[in-house]
Every structure is written in structure tokens, then in C-alpha cells.
Structure 1
Amino acid sequence: MIRQTTTFNPVAIMLADATRHPLRVLLFLLVIGSAVGVILSAHMNRQVIIANEQLMQEKDRLDIEWRHLLLEQGALTEHNRIESLVKRDLDMRRPTPDDEIVVRLK
């Protein structure tokens, strides 16, 4: 009995299969590429959503600050407050009719 010794080379077998079925190899590579594309687009979508949420939180914080500044401006510009500050700090008063001088232009 003659024994035939053959070596088992998996790389050679895979290359032989790949050359016999190039369409299957191309389809396999396209499926792998498509899967990578889906993964990358999902990751980018998540990153955009996270950035959008952070910007919305910043917008809300700025809106609240704006409302507080409007309230503060309204309180600081009330006529009663300004009149009392002028009387107290600058010792100003309303002019009397005797203090008024009328200037006429020709």
C-alpha cells in the first residue's frame, strides 16, 4: 500500500476557492463594507444627537439668564427708584416755577 502524503494548507484552499467564486467574494466584501458603513453612520448619529442635546441645554440656560436680566433691568429702571436715588445721592429736586427760565428763539 502506498501512502500519499498531502499537506493541509488552509490558505491555499481559501485562495483557490476565492479564485473559483469571485462573485461570492465580491458580495462578501460588499456586505462587510455595508456593515461598517451602518456602524459608522449610527455612531455619527449618536454624536450629533449628544451635541444637539448639549446645545439645547445651553440655550435653555441662556434663556433663563436673559429672563433674569430683563427682570433686573425692569427693576433698576423704575421711575420711583430713579427718583429716590437722585434725591438721596445727588440732592436733586424738581424745579419750582420760580427756577424755570423760558428761552425764546426768533
Structure 2
Amino acid sequence: MIGNQRLGLVGVIGGDLLRNAKIPLILLVAVLVSAIFVVTTAHRTRLLTAEREQLVLERDALDIEWRNLILEENALGAHSRVERIATEKLQMQHVDLSQGNIIVKQ
């Protein structure tokens, strides 16, 4: 009991800390704040790592699709090359068989 006031244990401890232990209190707050920053930074790092892995997988899938498109383009290009050589060098012509009569297109 202090004078006519009756303080609780928490009030007495808080008063003592504010009067006598300012530096340890500041250090405690600094430790707690830095711990919170460490936890949030680790969480954000994990999220960004997972996002990066997803983007790498997507890039690999797009790379495979790009290679397949190049192969398809080369295959189709070889067909048109053969057709061009047949018409230019061998003087071959297209034939329309849809009407039953053979009609030569120029």
C-alpha cells in the first residue's frame, strides 16, 4: 500500500519498469519488433519462392510448346517446299478430283 492508494501487482511492476528499467524495456520492444519483421520477411520469402517455382514451371511448359511449334513449322515448311519444287522445276499441276472429271488448275 502506498499512501491511501492500493495498486495491483501489475501496476507496481509497470511503475518500477518505467522508473528504473527504461533501457531494458526499449531493448525488449526492439527485440519484439525485429522478431515480427523476421517472421513476416520469412513468410514473404516463402511466398515469392513458391511463385518463382510456379513461373519456372510455366516457362518450361511454354518452352516445350515453342519447340513443338518450331518442329510443326519446319514440317509444314518442308511440305510447301516440296510442292514449290514440284510446280516450278517439274512443271506439275494441281488436280481437282471433287467433280469426277479431272480438271487441271493453273
TM-score by length of 1: 0.68
Q: Which one is further off, 58-67 or 17-26?
A: 17-26
Q: Match of 1:47? A: 47
* Map of 2:8 onto structure 1: 9
The CA deviation at 1:46 is 0.6
Question: Quick one: structure 1 residues 76 and 17, their matched pair in 2 at CA, closer, same or farther if it must change by over 3 Å?
Answer: same
> How many residue pairs align between the two structures?
87
TM-align CA RMSD:
2.7
Give the TM-score, by structure 2 length: 0.68
Query: What is residue 68 of structure 2 aligned with on the other side?
Result: 68
Aligned-residue identity in percent: 31
Offset at 1:9?
1.2
Unpaired runs of 5+ residues, structure 2, are: 1-5, 88-92, 97-102
Gaps of 5+ in 1: 1-6, 94-106
Q: Distance in 2 between matches of 1:88 and 1:80?
A: 16
Higher strand share goes to which structure? 2
**What is the distance in 2 between the residues matched to 1:35 and 1:48?**
20
Residue 88 (structure 1) shift: 4.7
Higher relative contact order (CA 8 A, sep 6+): 2
